[in-house]
Amino acid sequence: MHKEVIEYPMMGMKYTHYKGGKYEVMTMATHTETNEPMVVYKSLLFGSIYVRPLSMWFEEVTLEDGTKKKRFS
């Protein structure tokens, strides 16, 4: 039986979005309707708070030139 390994961001760690923004992970949360794990993070430039599904946090995105990068690194 093969178990899926789930990668979690580190609380308090700073990450760079593939478009260049800098963010700090504040905590994890759970979506009340779906029980989906969510990442709560803030912009280091503006202080704005955001929430993104954990499933999207480390996913690869394809840029216009076809190269692939992790959404956050």
pLDDT, tens only, 48-68: 999 999 999 989 999 999 999
Return left, alpha or beta for 32; rule: phi > 0 is left, psi -120 to 50 is alpha, else beta: alpha
Q: Is the pLDDT of residue 1 over 80?
A: no
| Domain ranges across the chain | 14-59
pTM: 0.87
pLDDT tens for each residue of 10-43: 999 999 999 999 999 999 999 999 999 999 999 9
Q: What are phi and psi of 3, to 5 degrees?
A: -95, 140
**What distance in Å separates the CA atoms of residue 34 and residue 61, rounded to the nearest whole number?**
24
Tell me what pLDDT residue 47 has.
Answer: 96
Token pair in block for residue 48: 């704005």
Per-residue model confidence (pLDDT) at position 3: 67
